[in-house]
Amino acid sequence: MSLGSKAGLAPSKPMRDVFGDALLKVATDNPRVVVLDGDLANSTKADTVRNAFPERFFNIGIAESNLVGIGAGLENAGYIPWITSFSSFLLCNAYDQIRLAVAMSNINAKILGSHGGITLGKDGPTQMGIEDLALMGGLPTMTILVPSDPASMHAAVKAATDHVGPVFLRSSRVGMPHIYPMDDCPFEIGKANVVRQGGDLTIIGCGLMVAAALDAAAMLAEGGIEARVLDLHTIRPLDTTAIVAAA
């Protein structure tokens, strides 16, 4: 049984491809957007901007600390940098720079942590960003977004770009089933979405686990238990109001 099938969700293309499309859209709409790459644009799909706007794309190479530092410098020059790499590489190799140059300085930089979680399979544990949300959550000023499907990825990339301040956006390599219509995804930073109503219990998820939560809710419904499902796409600031209301 594939993820989302129990809940009747349609499969999607890989989320890294969706991110590439969304990044190209904000770069097309906003000439201040620049993209920095750690020699992984073919994997993160930031190459969409490289192909369309080569003058606004910077491949810093396998040098994550410099990647963050140069991004901070470009922000200081008036640009909106999207700093892109694998979550594991950025957080393990450039955490000090993210902490000081981005979070503590409260600059208007956006960080893509791609290939988050354990969904990489054969790529192995060195590529898996399993610590990213915990590490980013310990930093001041950092907004943390984890979209759950293609529509919310597009909405999250736009919201992150429009938001003034540091943003960390976690993505994955694999596809996530469609939860929202592509042209109608409610997305407000700090406000969870109720994607399924139910009065017996509440399941809260983010990212890939929202589809899993909807599958679980569908199975519970077969036994007469109606579960509400919350898409907690913003890990920080946390929507405590929605969580308390669901209790």
The total number of residues shown for the chain amounts to: 247
What's the token pair of residue 131? 């610590």
70-127, pLDDT tens digit by residue?
A: 999 999 999 999 999 999 999 999 999 999 999 999 999 999 999 988 877 677 777 7
Q: Could you give all domains of the chain from N- to C-terminal order, each with its CATH number?
A: 15-170 (3.40.50.970), 193-245 (3.40.50.920)
Mean pLDDT of the region 54-66: 98
Do residues 24 and 52 touch, judged by C-beta distance below 8 A? yes
The pLDDT value given to residue 121: 66
The pLDDT value given to residue 186: 96
Active-site entry in 55, 64, 188, 226: 64
**What is the distance between the alpha carbons of residues 25 and 221, in angstroms, rounded to a whole number?**
39
For residue 1, name the pLDDT band (cuts at 50, 70, 90): confident
**Known catalytic residue at 64:** yes
The stretches of 33-164 forming alpha helices (DSSP H) are 41-44, 47-52, 64-76, 87-93, 95-97, 132-137, 150-162
pTM of the model: 0.96
**Max CA distance (Å), the chain:** 58
| Dihedral, CA of residue 178, residue 233, residue 111 and residue 55, to nearest 10 | 40
180-213, pLDDT tens digit by residue?
A: 999 999 999 999 999 999 999 999 999 999 999 9
Q: Which residues have CB under 8 Å from 67's CB, separation 6+?
A: 36, 37, 38, 60, 83, 85, 90, 94
User: Taking Cα atoms as reference points, which of 4, 79, 68 lies closest to residue 36?
Assistant: 68
- Burial, 82: exposed, middle or buried (Cβ in 10 Å; 0-12, 13-18, 19+)? buried
